[in-house]
């Protein structure tokens, strides 16, 4: 099948710089920016006292020097933790960044960002208003932001609070009832793991005006297969996958 894409492939680097720096930290964002990354994926939660912050896991153990549930702590405790604990490339302690710090950085950075909302329905009642307020205070970031979640409540809330920002629904398998639901919600993209995207499913998504986004891409061959079947946005941890693709196109 010939390569016939009508627009460039969008490469999204998870965590800010993939595995090159501690994920969801300012050092990762700066590392990604220096390396020419044009699209990053970060994870958004909210603290017990209502401060949105960037962190992936529900629990703290994997990437910090603390134990427990991240969103169960107040911000004054979260901001004191080392978010680079155990990372092979960490040059020193890294703080968990607040959303306002990241958006302030984004205002002057030549980069785009997807924020994945990681919150229960109860947490959304404090997260979404705080998120909307932060975006309103920094209007220059508006065109650089998109939002993703596996929760339809989160994405509907984003539409209400943030006036129709670009939204992506994360699913296990992109079946037609889900595609119809995503279309009815006014979403622009649907994402699932690389193994679940086939040419038929990409075509089905297109019939509902939804862009296909692929996750968990293990290597360059995975990326080539996905591009061949029509996936336009690929989320990677390994920036070298993009470099291999760019080299093959030159």
Q: Structural domain of residue 203, as residue ranges? A: 10-249
Question: What is the per-residue pLDDT for 130?
Answer: 96
Residue 36 belongs to a domain: yes
Residue 154 belongs to a domain: yes
Q: What percent of the chain lies above the pLDDT cut of 70?
A: 97
- Please determine, for residue 129, whether its predicted confidence score (pLDDT) is greater than 60: yes
Residue 230 belongs to a domain: yes
How many residues does this entry show for the chain?
Answer: 250
194, 226 contact by CB (below 8 A): yes
Phi, psi of 142 (to 5 degrees): -50, -50
Question: What is the per-residue pLDDT for 164?
Answer: 84
> What CATH code is carried by the domain that includes residue 23?
3.20.20.190
For 41-57, what is each residue's pLDDT tens digit?
A: 999 999 999 999 999 99
Residue 40 belongs to a domain: yes
Mean pLDDT of 206-213: 97
CA dihedral 135, 145, 102, 11 (to 10 degrees): 180
User: Of 127, 136, 135, nearest to 155 (Cα)?
Assistant: 127
**Alpha carbons 147 and 135: distance in angstroms, whole number:** 12
67, 56 contact by CB (below 8 A): no
Residue 192 belongs to a domain: yes
Please state the domain count of the chain. 1
Residue 207 belongs to a domain: yes
Distances (CA, A) of 150 to 25, 102, 113, 178, 186: 23, 22, 17, 12, 15
Residue 2 belongs to a domain: no
Mean pLDDT of the chain: 93
Q: What pTM did the predictor assign?
A: 0.94
Question: What is the per-residue pLDDT for 1?
Answer: 35
* Antiparallel, parallel or unpaired: β 39-46 and 52-54: antiparallel
For 49-102, what is each residue's pLDDT tens digit?
A: 999 999 999 999 999 999 999 999 999 999 999 999 989 887 789 999 999 999
- Please determine, for residue 3, whether its predicted confidence score (pLDDT) is greater than 80: no
């Amino acid at each position: 099948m010939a390569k016939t894409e009508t627009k460039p492939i969008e490469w999204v680097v998870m965590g800010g710089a993939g595995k090159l720096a501690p994920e969801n930290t300012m050092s990762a964002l700066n590392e990604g920016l220096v390396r020419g990354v044009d699209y990053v994926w970060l994870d958004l939660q909210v603290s017990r006292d209502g401060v949105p912050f960037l962190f992936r896991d529900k629990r703290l153990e994997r990437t910090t020097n603390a134990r427990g549930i991240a969103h169960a702590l107040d911000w004054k405790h979260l901001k004191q933790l080392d978010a680079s604990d155990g990372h092979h490339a960490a040059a020193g302690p890294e703080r968990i960044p607040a959303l306002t710090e990241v958006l302030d950085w984004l205002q002057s950075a030549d980069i785009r960002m997807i924020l994945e909302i990681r919150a229960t329905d109860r947490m959304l009642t404090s997260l979404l208003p705080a998120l909307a307020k932060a975006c309103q205070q920094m209007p220059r970031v508006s065109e650089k932001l998109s939002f993703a979640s596996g929760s339809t409540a989160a994405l509907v809330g984003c539409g209400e609070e943030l006036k129709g920002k670009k939204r992506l629904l994360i699913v296990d398998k992109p079946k037609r009832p889900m595609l119809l639901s995503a279309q009815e919600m006014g979403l622009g993209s649907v994402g699932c793991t690389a193994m679940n995207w086939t040419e038929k499913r990409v075509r089905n998504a297109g019939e509902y005006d939804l862009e296909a986004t692929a996750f968990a891409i293990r290597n360059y061959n995975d990326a080539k297969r996905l591009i061949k079947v029509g996936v336009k946005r690929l989320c990677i941890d390994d920036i070298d996958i993009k470099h291999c693709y760019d080299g093959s196109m030159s």
